[in-house]
Structure 1
Amino acid sequence: MSINPIHVIFGLKLRQARLGQGLSLTELAARAGLSPSYVTEIEKGRKYPKADKILRLARALGYDYDQLVSLRLEPPLHFLESALSSQVLQQFPLELFGVDPAAVVGLLTRSPAEIGALAQALADVARGYNIREEHFFRAALRSYQELHGNYFEELEREAVAFARSVGLDRSLPVPEQALQEVLQGRFGYELGLIPADARPALAAYRAIFLPGRRPRLLLNPALTGPQRKFVLAREAGYRILELGERALTNPPDRVDSFSQVLNDFKAAYVGGAILMPERPVVADLAALFELTTWQPERLYRLLEAYDVTPETLLYRFSELVPRHFGLKVHFLRFSEINGTYRLYKHLNMSQLSLPKGFDLKEHYCRRWLTVRLIRELARLGQPGPLLGIQRSRFLQSQREFLCLGFARQENLPPFLRTSVTLGLRMDDELRVRVRFASDPCIPEGLLNETCERCPLPPEACHERAAPPERWEQEQAIDERRRALEELTRDGAPVGDVPSSVSSATG
């Protein structure tokens, strides 16, 4: 069940008109020759009457037919118009979070004026910070992934069954030629290249999908082998799951619905599971975690064994580590543009202290592994991938994380330096499961969220990129709060009123 704005608006208008004339549900129902229970269902937005019954209701209220079916709401309900027409409300995946849409409709119709005012306030906040519907959809997807530990058994089964049916499970790494043959032979695709030279504006796309009776998939000629394989495997994921609504470009140019965001995620999940099947990956992770010392070459060998990108490798780990090893993880993807570091992708299942705030324009702590690797890559002047590890402890929360990461130079415009990091929360379970976590050779970092929020004095941090303005503001607020508490405490001394003030007030 989804929220139908036309049904809800009609129900609200009917209720508003009935109350405006001082009629009870029973009285309106009797005048219109309908049952009270049926009128109740209409007012709650659960049912929409046929034309003859709308006419009977309009006559019972002294309204014109067109007046009652108009989608315009009168004050104080007019705030609900924009909320009810919003794609966010209509498409938000309430069922994924165990919420019955009927309960939301019931809340809207039970306290429409109050909910309308709240919706208007939230809309104003969203506009003020340029928060678009796409942001809500992507946030909903992240929450859904985190709720399930980023592991989806039904998608794992689909990947295994399909790989077995077409012979992709016979050897690792999965051959690119085999993926091409699956798309062309089984699904009738035409494969080609994006004309990036003739149309430079298309050079930033990794892939473009052109639907039709014989669908076409165009790949960017600058893609590496592992990148091409992931695009092909993800495209197979759309077909395996029979997903319709989807992005036509990668990266997506636009987001039209939550279904599109969810379908793109599902196809990518299945694609990753085809390239890195669950059983061998879990076995490789178990062997890695059994090492008593950190051996970076083992991770480089896994990149070669599966022939995947660093992002695919670590993201796949984020799907399987919580499920099979019971560890709390987070995944981050950063990019650097002219010395500015931007967080482009994240999953937070480890209670990582991520900087909070709309349109955050602060400087991420330069001691984060993901930032440190990008800076090191720039210093070396290499394309990468550059692997790093760090035990990170946050200054204020004192939470600790074991972080593994790669940095590399992107091969597509705008040729950014990027890094991906898998973080595992340090606790007793991790110290048992991951034996190399206590290796003294692993560097340690004492860090904070951003430079603006960091209490470390200048002499204690030589990497600071900005003064601690937010920290100083918070300290000033705390000081004022303490002074106010002391002032209001019983028996707290206060100064004498100056004579000039007392005479003026007298």
Structure 2
Amino acid sequence: MAQQKLYAGAKLRDIRTGAGLTQRSFAARLGVSLPYLNQMENNHRPVSTGVVLALAREFGFNVTEFSTGEPERIVSDMREALADPLFADHAPALADLRLVASNAPGLARAFLELHSAYRQGHERLAAMDEAQGRDGLRPSPWEEVRDFFHYCDNYIDAVDRAAERFAADGADTVATLAACGIRVELSEEPGQDLYLRDGSRLLLSARAAPATRRFQLLHQVALATRNDLLEATLDLARFQSATARAIAKIGLANYFAGAALMPYRAFLAAARETRHDLELLADRFDASVEQVAHRLSTLQRAGEKGVPFFFVRVDQAGTITKRHSATRLQFARFGGACPLWNVHRAFETPGQFLRQFAETPDGVRYFCLAREVSKPGGSFNAPVRRYAIGLGCEVQHADALVYADDMNMRRFEPIGISCRICERRDCHQRSVPPLERRLRVNPDRRGLLPYEIDG
């Protein structure tokens, strides 16, 4: 295998300037010509073995400091930083990044430190806004919609009742769409929950689960037959942008679909009868376990409330992709959820329910249920989506859930919301210090963390 050439112009310049030498004097000490040194310092030529030996002999330079991996690490770090939406319109080419990493690593490191400081400041403001309930930062359209459903307790009365009436009428969804001029077709093409609305043609994936196809049909029924209701609800919400309004309309159509699939009164009665057994409810309403868990978190109709649940969906990186809560438990707006929460362990036990009694720093105790969910792509080369869902309620409602039977209610695992706003000082899974606490660092003492948190 050919030996990798060593381009280290920036390191050569550092050594020369550190020794206080001109290029001419430095070239003489190394035994090379001035043009040759100039070419090496500008990475037009690789550093030769003779030059490396001369550096060690004349300047006591440790040749192991010539790390060929350093520029690549800088390039990797810069690519990650430049993935920030801040640089969406100004991302340089990979060749330019390599040029900067090789010729101006000091500038690259300064850029990385500046970006890191920017992100830390942004996260600090965001976390403080979350912790103190202020509206100091304008939310993104996605967050604005998420907050809309959150502050409605994930229950939209007019849409819910309209869906319940549609289900009571017993209308066929395909016929309803046909009456609106929309023809439904099935496609055998591999695709994850594929559907495509092309004018008067609605194309669904024949490979999707029946519950998924029913949900998608009901979603289209909402858009085709309840558009005035959806638009009126959006008018009342007063979103700050057209993008937020468009996202919310999809959310409201999804809400209609779930409420028509599992009508409020019938579903609430079945939930109580089965003691909230998700699998029994999924069979009874021809729905998926995730759809059932999500629907349980919406049963907040005045005078007919169900158990107040929280519902969350988490991807394999720990990022919360869906969250609703009718309980006092809140979720981190930025970053992942507490690693001590059982929803993260669900990936280790596919198809099984994990149960947990947990306590948050404010002293509130919860019963938490978690399960991994996989959605095959329908063919060998199609990707499989994997995530975990979490469902829970405050512990005083736990006896209404079949899953809490025979569990030890004397042991509650401590969980938090986010490390940045969690007050626990002795957590063995803490990733970052809390924002509003001073730290003590003792080099002669090492515990679970490399620092101690003042009370």
TM superposition score normalised by structure 1: 0.50
Q: How big is the shift at 1:471?
A: 4.7
Q: Residue by residue, what CA displacement relative to the aligned partner does 1:233-256 show, whole Å, maximum 9, x if unpaired? A: 1111112212698xxxxxxxxx95
The offset of 1:179, in angstroms, is 2.8
Return the letter of the residue paired with 1:181: A
Residues 1:476 and 2:442 aligned together: no
Question: CA separation of 1:349/1:302 partners in 2, compared to 1, >3 Å: closer, same or farther?
Answer: closer
Residue 267 of structure 2: aligned partner:
281
Partner of 1:390: 356
The partner residue of 1:376 within 323, 327, 349 is 349
1:159 to 154, 159, 163: 163
Helix, strand or coil for the counterpart of 1:139? helix
280, 284, 301: which one aligns with 1:301: 280
Aligned residue in 2 for 1:140: 144
Compute the RMSD of aligned alpha carbons: 4.0
Q: 1:181 to 1:141 in 2, by over 3 A?
A: same
2:393 aligns with 424
Distance of aligned partners of 1:325 and 1:477 in 2 relative to their CA distance in 1, 3 Å threshold: farther
Read off the aligned partner of 2:321 and give its amino acid letter: Y
Of 224-233 and 443-452, deviating more is 443-452
Other structure's SS at 2:208 match: coil
SS in 1 for 2:318: strand
Could you tell me which residue of structure 1 aligns to residue 367 of structure 2?
A: 402
Unaligned runs of 5+ in 1: 1-123, 169-177, 198-202, 246-254, 290-295, 378-383, 484-506
- For 1:470 and 1:407, how far apart are their aligned partners in 2? 30
| One of 189, 193, 207 as aligned partner of 2:195 | 207
In the alignment, residue 191 of structure 1 is paired with which amino acid?
Answer: V
* TM-superposed deviation, 1:151: 1.9
Please state how far the C-alpha of 1:437 moved relative to its aligned partner.
Answer: 5.0
Change (3 A) 1:240 1:472: closer
TM-score, normalization: structure 2?
0.55
1:149 aligns with 2:153: yes
- Aligned residue for 2:383, secondary structure, equals coil
Is the CA contact (8 Å cut-off) linking 1:310 and 1:406 kept in structure 2? no
1:195 deviates by 7.0
Q: Distance in 2 between matches of 1:315 and 1:261?
A: 18
The whole-number CA distance in structure 1 between the counterparts of 2:339 and 2:167 is 42
Q: CA distance change for structure 1 residues 193 and 392 in 2, over 3 Å: closer, same or farther? A: same
Task: Please show how residues 220-235 of structure 1 align to structure 2 within 5 Å.
Answer: 220-235=205-220
Residue 185 of structure 2 corresponds to 192
Secondary structure at 1:346 match in 2: strand
1:330 paired to 2:316: no
- SS of residue in 2 equivalent to 1:398: coil
SS in 2 for 1:469: coil
Give the residue type in structure 1 aligned to 2:393: L
| Separation (CA, whole Å) in 1 of partners of 2:144 and 2:295 | 20
Q: Does 1:257 align with 2:243?
A: yes
Give the Å deviation of 1:300: 1.4
Q: What one-letter code is carried by the residue in structure 2 that aligns with 1:366? A: P
Q: Is the 8 A contact 1:233 1:271 kept in 2?
A: yes
Deviation of the 1:438 alpha carbon: 6.9
Match of 1:341 in 2: 318
Query: Deviation per CA, 1:181-203, whole angstroms, max 9, x where unpaired?
Result: 3323x222222345745xxxxx3
Deviation at 1:209, TM superposition (A): 1.4
Change (3 A) 1:334 1:389: same
Following TM superposition, by how much is the alpha carbon of 1:283 offset from its aligned partner in structure 2, in angstroms? 0.6
Pairing of 1:14-163 with structure 2 (within 5 A): 136-163=140-167
Q: Is the 8 A contact 2:310 2:325 kept in 1?
A: yes
Deviation at 1:370, TM superposition (A): 1.5
Distance apart, 1:134 and its partner CA: 11
In 2, Cα distance between equivalents of 1:326 and 1:279? 10
Could you give the per-residue CA deviations for residues 394-444 of structure 1, whole angstroms, max 9, x where no partner exists?
2x32221122333221223531321222221234xx368669757435785
Give SS of 1:341's match: coil
For residues 146-190 of structure 1, give each alpha carbon's deviation from its aligned partner in whole angstroms, at most 9, with x where no partner exists: 33322222212212332344x24xxxxxxxxx4333323x22222
Partners of 2:268 and 2:306 within 8 A in 1:
no
SS in 1 for 2:359: strand
Give a deviation string over 1:126-163, Cα, whole Å, max 9, x none.
9x99xxx9963333333332333222222122123323
Specify the code of the residue in structure 2 equivalent to 1:237: A
Shift of 1:273: 1.5
**Aligned-pair CA distance for 1:315:** 1.1
Q: Offset at 1:312?
A: 1.0
Q: What per-residue deviation string (whole Å, max 9, x for no partner) do you get for residues 312-365 of structure 1?
A: 1011111115753364432101111xxx222111123323242354xx3x6x43
Matched, 1:179 2:173: yes
1:11 corresponding residue in structure 2: none
The CA distance in 2 between the partners of 1:481 and 1:438, in whole Å, is 38
Whether the aligned pair in 2 keeps the contact of 1:334 and 1:419 (CA below 8 Å) is yes
Distance change (3 Å), C-alpha of 1:411 and 1:431: closer
Equivalent residue, structure 2, for 1:415: 384
Contact 1:401 1:426 in 2 (8 A): yes
Structure-1 residue corresponding to 2:56: none
Structure 1 residues 431-470: aligned runs within 5 Å: 437=404, 439-440=406-407, 444-449=412-417, 455=424, 464=429, 468-470=431-433
- The 1:406–1:306 alpha-carbon spacing in structure 2 relative to 1, beyond 3 Å, is farther
Partner residue, 1:500: none
1:219 equivalent in structure 2: 204
Deviations 1:62-93 (A, max 9, x none): xxxxxxxxxxxxxxxxxxxxxxxxxxxxxxxx
Structure 1 pair 449–376 and aligned structure 2 pair: CA distance change class (3 A): farther
Give, as a single letter, the amino acid of the residue that structure 1 aligns with 2:279.
Y
Instruction: Give identity over the alignment, percent.
Output: 18
Name the CA shift for 1:302/1:270 in 2 (closer, same or farther; >3 Å): same
- Shift in CA distance, 477/232, structure 1 to aligned 2, threshold 3 Å: farther
**Cα contact 1:329–1:423 (8 A) shared by 2:** yes
Conserved? CA contact 1:149–1:322, under 8 Å: no
Task: Give 1:317's aligned residue.
Answer: 296
Aligned equivalent of 1:63 = none
